[in-house]
Structure 1
Amino acid sequence: MCGILFALATQEQPICQTEWDTLKELNTRRGPDLQNLRQIHISNCNKQGLDLSFFSTVLHLRGAAVVPQPRCDPNTKNTLCWNGEIFGGIEAFISAKGSPIVLMDTLENASTEIEILSVLQSIEGPFAFVYYRASVRKIYFGRDCLGRRSLLWLRTEKGAFMLSSVGKPKTNQDDSGVWEEVPANGIYSIDLDGDVLDRQNQSGGLPRACGISLHLFPWTYVAKKDKLDMLKQGKLSFPFPRLNATLPNLEPITDADTEPVIDQSMQKAIRDFTSVLGESVKRRVADIPYLDAKGQARVAILFSGGLDCICLAALANQYLPLTEPIDLLNVAFENPRSEKAKSQKSSNKKPKKKKEEAEEQVGAAELTERSIYDTPDRLTGRAGVQELRRIAPDRTWNFVEINVPYSEAMEHRQRIIDRMFPLDTVMDLSIAMAFWFASRGKGAVDAAANQATDYESRARVLLSGLGADEQLGGYSRHREAYRHGSWERLVQETQLDVDRISKRNLGRDDRIMSDHGKEVRFPFLSTCVVDWLCKQPIQLKMDLRYNRGIGEKILLRHVARELGLVNASRNWKRAIQFGAKTAKMTGASRSEKGQHKLMQE
């Protein structure tokens, strides 16, 4: 994980120094191990003086030594700011060298724009970047096609054009512009020798870079044989196809509550998916340096005990040395609204006899403060870790119970709102709050055994199960689609979910969790996994003829059973804001909906 901060400025449109300094500080939280600044001054063919400022911060996650950024070739003066991981796609990739070195070396060998774009579209892994090609005075920037890393741009009329991994909320009317997420719809370029547009006649909806127009090379669904032709047309190829739209011809079932018999095609799918997903997990847990004592975990799982995350935990167990622990981060919140609702429900019950009251008083005295943290995710998490300990008894599984009092949640509320910016809805905050405290990793272990010990996870790499529901039919909307339009409508709904992954909230989640100097990785969103799943017939991934807990994500449920996770294979989908109890933490606005904007305080 790294932080990127870039500015293109002129004498007429300078950098706002206060804003620049604030963004440097915020990006340093993402990359606390090393920070560097590189500045370049050029005059373009329009005799316009341009100042280019590249600032990078580095979180050391690969190799024996920290790789400085920005990368700059002393001969060509080409400059790269990189925030991402290369897990495949570039043939020369050697993990020990570090992604920025490998990518810079590969880009230096690219002699044309088509070759540069070909390198970037071939990367398997999450990324955001800024790359300056000095010989042609062009700047390239963008995000991977699934939008797994954050990158924002500053839309402004009077100041410098800026890009940053994290933004700064507007605090007064003098702030220079509006921060927005760079759409993950392609790679953008700025030709510094390009014409300065008439500000009154700008079209296309894109910001300008000191008056210079931006050009987009869009991601496109393309057959493999046509990739070079599409590059010549200025289009990039998605690393996966559109969904297999072949519709099954299956008979109605008589018992929707019974697990289906595994036929030959499903058995092959289980075997292949376990291999593909396992390889994705392997690449994401390999080569993480031992920065702390050897007895500490290098990898943590964002762990609710649900189907997606417990499968990742079981697979990570296969690829990490048995001598090191794995942290399972489980977060729960004190929610005054839900506690009040419980209290009101209790008070509406019939009066009890004196003996019953006395027994209840004894029971209440025995309750610990932790009882308010027995949220749905806490209960499934405890059950899940017991199952992991059963299938992998030689592994130390640190089940980290992260209890967040209401007062502490409110203490950090504004910081979390600032980090998730520019997203600003009630639901964004509910989810961001859960991820922020979970990724911080401060809690207790062995709490269930009444031997609670304070514990802080030092793992810098977090694994998340995000992406499983979108591709495997985990949402209620998939069941509704099937109910209204059978398999054809279900394929359409799943395709829509895959298409909009890049437009959803991965940038927000990246900004939230990196605030603690952590990097989140998404094995289900490896483009190799997405590619494999897109090619499979719909009925192998989900079979919504069967009831909840069986039909949705049916393929992953079978994989879970193959891994020995029999109990977890029946778990249902539960959104984190409900599982951890961050939704509507106060009773002040019962009519408030998730899509509503946050009220200004």
Structure 2
Amino acid sequence: MCGILLHYLGSLDGSRNDLIDEVHEYDESYSGDRVCSDGDGTFNEIIPYIVSRGPNYSSLRVNREHGISWFSSILSLRQPFTRQSIVVDERYVLQFNGELYNSEISGNDTQYIVSLLKSCDGDVVSLVRKLDGGFAYTIYDLKEGNIYFGRDTIGKRSLCYSIDENSGELFISSVTGTRGTFVDCLGGVIYTYDTKTHTLDDTKVIRDKYVVTDMTDELENESQYMELLYGTLYESVKKRVLSIHPTHIENSPISILFSGGLDCSVIVALICEVLKTEYKGPNIVLELLNVGFENPRTGKMPHETPDRLLAVNSYKIIQELYPDIDICLVEVDVPYDEYLRVRPKVVDLIYPKQTEMDLSIAIAFYFASRGHGFVTNSDNERNKYNRNGIVLFSGLGADELYGGYHSFANKSIEELTVELTRQINNIHDRNLNRDDKVIADNGVEVRYPFLDEEVIQYSVSQIPISYKVNKGILRKLALEKLQLRDIAQEPKRAIQFGARSAKMTKDGNKNGTDVIKA
């Protein structure tokens, strides 16, 4: 996970032409007190947000001739360690945030993009279309004066921008807080900003939108589709596990955002399968991160939340299935006073999202990914435990692909087809931009096996719609292929209700669509 911030000053008049060429690097030591020639208030106010996303390294670059400043931060997951921003052949300046899974990558994925830039001859759009993974980027063409930026097709990494129509000034950032008039980038759009004309082209895309097939099939063929889905999901999990560089995977656990429900339990089981059959290194710990809130409105404590009770039972089932794998359930308890203390920060991070529902979901992910909790040992002693994993896995995407939301239950095949098409193409705005901002603030990276390009493509175009009623095909996979027993039948429960992070006060009549009040 990395942080991206770019500032193009726009028209350089006498009052704005005080930049100097400079490069500064900070190895885990940026203190926020560095004064650079780009003294813009917004630019410098955003820098601390960027630093939080990449705790291993930060750098500042200023180019006076082109009127651009870059600030980058890095969470290093692949070797060799690669500093950013990168000047490539005196032609491009690159910032990259994310993980790529192209089969030809053997080392650092940022270096892979560098190699593509060296031979792209100005065709940055075609280069971006070759990338497979979850990512956000900025690429500045020093020769042509074009700034390219955007997110992968699904939009797994957050990115937003702001343009001053009068001066042409441009900001691009992973996260901004509640400042400026920033707009979230759409998933899959390759934005091109021409610094000569101050115009933005947002018509180019990585690929066409996903369209869910409306084909139906008899249920006796469901096993065939389930086997193919299993193979596709297994490969998705495999490349996300094995692409963690050995120095991390051997010394640091793998973490999973764990409610105990169907989607995350399938991911945990698949990780265990990969570790059993593909991984030959030292023992790896799996940290199942489960969050529960003290809720004054209900009078319930964290250990009484629905997701905590479910997680304990699901954890036992998974332990029995994989006794040779070291799995721990990390119980993240959030007292109400801690919720109140952190609430303003989360409200700030998720901007421009501003609803009660966005807050209740985001704050649950914030605390879960922070991972300050408790682990119960074999003697039934509950001891403090802080998450050690820096790569987190999530089951997000299963509801959108396989019809998991309650509102889908009574829809016709035609209605369900339309709704699932809308859901998967809107997930960048509905979920991912918000979630990435709060999770990455804890200096970790989240990976989404259900949102792998091949998994999505197979799921939307090959699996009959009749198997996507109440996640029927995923439940069959969980029960028959992974032996997850009772977990396979667990109903959908939104995290804000399972963790009890919604409607926290006696004023419990708030609607999810209500705008957050101070």
Q: Same fold (TM over 0.5)?
A: yes
Work out the CA distance in 1 between the residues paired with 2:320 and 2:12: 66
| Letter matched to residue 66 of structure 1 | F
Who is 2:418 aligned against?
492
Q: Equivalents in 2 of 1:93, 1:437: separation in Å?
A: 34
CA displacement 1:116-145 (0-9 Å, x = unmatched):
212212221111110011222211111112
On the 8 A contact 1:295/1:325 being kept in 2, the answer is no
- Which one is further off, 439-448 or 422-431? 439-448
- Give 1:152's aligned residue: 160
2:448 corresponds to: 522
Closer/same/farther in 2, CA of residues 595 and 435 from structure 1, 3 Å limit: same
1:282 equivalent in alignment to 2:238: yes
Contact 1:337-1:585 within 8 A present in 2 as well: yes
Q: How far did residue 112 of structure 1 move?
A: 4.2
Alignment partner, residue 23 of structure 1: 46
The 1:440–1:372 alpha-carbon spacing in structure 2 relative to 1, beyond 3 Å, is closer
Contact 1:4-1:55 within 8 A present in 2 as well: yes
Q: Within the alignment, does 1:419 sit opposite 2:433 as a pair?
A: no
Q: Structure 1 residue 397: deviation in Å? A: 0.8
1:577 aligns with 2:496: yes
> Residue 188 of structure 1 aligns to which amino acid in structure 2?
Y
Contact 1:169 1:418 (C-alpha < 8 Å) held by counterparts: yes
* Pairing 1:163–2:206 present: no
Given candidates 273, 277, 282, the residue that maps to 1:318 is 273
Are 1:450 and 2:380 matched, yes or no?
yes
Deviations 1:547-598 (A, max 9, x none): xxxxx111111111211101110101000000000001111x3332111111
Q: Deviations over 1:345-370 (max 9, x none)?
A: xxxxxxxxxxxxxxxxxxxxxxxxxx
Describe how 1:88-127 pairs up with structure 2 within 5 A: 88=102, 92-94=104-106, 96=107, 98-113=108-123, 116-127=124-135
Any conservation in 2 of the 1:491–1:538 contact (CA below 8 Å)? no
Distance 1:599 1:158, change over 3 A: farther
Q: 1:293, CA displacement in angstroms?
A: 9.7
**Match in the other structure for 1:386:** 316
Aligned length: 488
- Match of 1:243? 212
Distance 1:123 1:292, change over 3 A: closer
- 130-139 vs 445-454, greater mean Cα deviation: 445-454
Structure 1 SS opposite 2:298? helix
Give secondary structure in 2 for the equivalent of 1:332: strand
2-structure distance, mates of 1:283, 1:576: 27
The equivalent position to 1:305 in structure 2, one of 257, 260, 281, is 260
Q: 2:12 maps to which residue?
A: 11
Q: Percent identity?
A: 33
- Cα pair distance change 1:156/1:135, threshold 3 Å: closer
Aligned-pair distance for 1:184? 2.3
Q: Kindly state the Cα deviation for residue 41 of structure 1 after the two structures are TM-superposed.
A: 3.0
Displacement of 1:295: 5.8
CA distance in 2, matches of 1:296, 1:453: 19
2:121 partner SS: coil
Displacement over 6 Å in runs of 4+? none
Equivalent-residue separation in structure 1 for 2:436 and 2:295 (angstroms)? 25
Counterpart in the other structure of 1:47: none
Shift of 1:19: 2.5
Identify the range of structure 1 (306-315 vs 179-188) with the bigger mean alpha-carbon deviation.
Answer: 179-188
Change (3 A) 1:373 1:389: same
Conservation of the 8 A alpha-carbon contact between 1:269 and 1:540? no
- The answer on 1:503 being equivalent to 2:472 is no
How many angstroms apart in 1 are the aligned matches of 2:500 and 2:246? 34
Q: In 2 relative to 1, CA 72–563 (structure 1 residues): closer, same or farther, beyond 3 Å?
A: same
Residue deviations 1:209-248 (CA, integer Å, cap 9, x gap): xxx11012333xxxxxxxxxxxxxxxx423x752222245
What is the match of residue 430 of structure 1?
360
Compare CA radii of gyration and give the structure with the larger one: 1
1:225-277 CA-to-partner distances (Å, cap 9, x unmatched) read xxxxxxxxxxx423x752222245x6xxxxxxxxxxx73x2222111111101
AA paired with 1:86?
L
Aligned to 1:272: 228
> How many angstroms apart in 1 are the aligned matches of 2:119 and 2:190?
19
- Alignment-derived partner of residue 464 in structure 1: 394
What one-letter code is carried by the residue in structure 2 that aligns with 1:525?
A: L
Going from structure 1 to structure 2, the CA distance change for 1:449 and 1:586 (only over 3 Å counts) comes to farther
TM-score by length of 1: 0.77
Give the superposition deviation at 1:106: 0.7
Q: Deviations over 1:257-311 (max 9, x none)?
A: xxxxx73x222211111110111111111132355794641x1110011000000
Q: CA contact under 8 A between 2:216 and 2:466: conserved in structure 1?
A: no
Secondary structure of the structure 2 residue equivalent to 1:338:
coil
* 1:156-206 C-alpha deviation (Å, 9 max, x unpaired): 357731111110313xxxxxx312212225111122233xxxxxxxxxxxx
**1:68 maps to 2:86:** no
Q: Unaligned stretches of 5+ in structure 2? A: 17-37
- TM-score of the pair, normalised by structure 2: 0.89
Partner of 2:147: 139
Q: Residue 4 and residue 295 in structure 1: after superposition, are their counterparts in 2 closer, same or farther (change >3 A)? A: closer
Contact 2:237 2:449 in 1 (8 A): yes
Q: Provide the secondary structure at the position in 1 that maps to 2:73.
A: strand
| Distance apart, 1:424 and its partner CA | 1.3
Which among 133, 137, 158 is matched to residue 129 of structure 1? 137
Q: CA RMSD in A?
A: 2.1
